[in-house]
Chains A and B, each alone.
Chain A
Amino acid sequence: MNILTQPWPWYIAGPLIGLMVPFLLLMDNKTFGISSSLRHFCAMCIPTKAKFFQYDWKAESWNLIFALGIVIGGLIAGYFFANPNPVALSESAIESMNKLGIKDYSGLIPSEIFNFSSLLTLKGFLLIVVGGFFVGFGTRYAGGCTSGHAIMGMSNLQWPSLVATCCFFAGGLLMTWVILPLLMNL
């Protein structure tokens, strides 16, 4: 049981994530990618004239089912096999995040920023709502996310995916080192 409650080291978790690629290909010729589910969700739920959403989303519904599975997997891991300890971060990381004003390291995400009442603060609104918007807008504009580009695209030696992955990192570095310290002071 221990192995199910404890966090897994990278050399176990990483290869298992990589195995999603051949599993999906062998199961039904599907390419690994999660962010498309957001598009299918729009096509399914939002009435619109935009051409981008005029397609047979039902043919892609496996992707939505896969996403639903991720929710269930998260539920099983979070409720039945939750790690009782905080994330084992490096000391230097904790030191840096202390400087950002973070005090609570008990959960998977900083509860002092990510909660419903902080939605009403400028900092909370920017990080939660605008941040989420960037994730949805950016992944679709880029044509994929960490799974579709960084893992699936790179596995298939696609150079545009390498470019996209480098840009994901460049954006993340810019936010972490330059913008986030300003946002955290709001």
Chain B
Amino acid sequence: MKYLKFLLLGTVFGFILIKAEVVSWFRIQEMFRFQSFHMYGVICSAIAVGMLSVFLIKKFKVKSFSGEEIKIEDKKFNKGNVIGGLIFGLGWAMTGACPGPLYALIGSGLPIVIVILLSAVLGTYCYGCLREKLPH
């Protein structure tokens, strides 16, 4: 039952993703064409709230509900951030979805998105197999 809280939080997140319309291929096109503020507003306000939360958690050394010290690992830079980032960007504009929205769209009743998700799994699998040969 320790997983129930993650299931519930995920459910809330999926609901928000649909209501925010950030799962919409049309919205993503609109964003990349700079034709609406909507997506920028969503992403920037999400970052602002996240940033403030992390700042407060660190400043007041807030502990997790189970009393643990909260630790966030640093992201180390590697060339993958650039090359992989560009590849993901291409896919984001093609499918109109990043991983979170893929799950939400499948739930919302679009079985074709299962094909996109399976391709994404295959992509991750191929990355894992080729990893040692790729520049990092």
A binding-site residues for B, Cβ under 8 Å: 4, 7-11, 13-32, 34-35, 37-39, 41-42, 46, 48, 50-53, 61-62, 65-79, 81-82, 87, 89-90, 92-93, 96-97, 105, 107-110, 114-116, 119, 126-147, 149-161, 163-177, 179-180, 183
Are A167 and B82 in touch, CB under 8 angstroms?
yes
Residue of A nearest to B5 (CB): A27
5 contacts between A and B (CB under 8 A): A74-B107, A78-B107, A139-B120, A142-B87, A146-B43
User: B5 to chain A: closest CB distance in Å?
Assistant: 6
Q: In the assembled complex, which residues on chain A have CB atoms less than 8 Å from the CB atom of B68?
A: 29
Alpha-carbon separation in the docked complex, A132 to B112 (Å): 11
A151 vs B76: C-alpha distance when bound (angstroms): 16
A61 and B3 contact, CB distance less than 8 A? yes
Whether A135 contacts B50 by the Cβ 8 Å rule is no
Once A73-B15, A136-B120 are accepted as A-B contacts, the answer to whether A108 and B93 lie under 8 Å apart by CB is no
**Do B118 and A74 have beta carbons less than 8 Å apart?**
no
Q: Which residues of B contact A115 (CB under 8 A)?
A: 112
Interchain CB contact under 8 A, B30 and A164: no
Assuming the A-B contacts A76-B11, A128-B95, A134-B94, are A141 and B17 also in contact, with contact meaning beta carbons closer than 8 angstroms in the complex? Answer: no
State the B residues within 8 Å of A (CB): 3, 5-33, 35-51, 53-54, 57, 62, 64-66, 68, 70-78, 80-100, 102-113, 115-129, 131-132, 134
Question: Is the Cβ of A126 less than 8 Å from the Cβ of B94?
Answer: yes
How many contacts A-B (CB < 8 Å)? 501
Judge whether B87 and A141 touch: CB under 8 Å.
yes
Q: How far is A65 from B72 in the complex, measured between Cα atoms in Å? A: 21
Q: Which residues of B contact A10 (CB under 8 A)?
A: 20, 37-42, 45
* A-B interface, 7 closest residue pairs, ranked by CB to CB distance from nearest: A171-B89, A69-B10, A73-B14, A141-B84, A74-B107, A78-B108, A167-B85
- A69 close to B66 (CB less than 8 A): no
Whether B14 and A174, one on each chain, are in contact in the complex, defined by CB atoms closer than 8 angstroms, is no
Chain B residues positioned under 8 Å from A142 (CB to CB)? 80-81, 83-85, 87-88
CB neighbours (8 Å) of A73 from chain B are 10-18, 104, 107
Selected from A24, A29, A105, A146, the residue in CB contact (under 8 A) with B98 is A146
Nearest CB of chain B from residue A170's CB, rounded to whole Å: 6
User: In the complex the two chains form, is A131's CB within 8 Å of B81's CB?
Assistant: no
Q: Is the CB of B103 within 8 A of A89?
A: no
Q: How far is the CA of A111 from the CA of B66 in the complex (A)?
A: 46
CA distance A81 to B96 in the complex (A): 22
> Are B127 and A137 in contact (CB-based, < 8 A)?
yes
Could you say which of A37, A53, A133, A183 has the most chain B C-beta atoms within 10 Å of its C-beta? Answer: A133
Contact of A74 among B82, B92, B95, B105 (CB under 8 A): B105
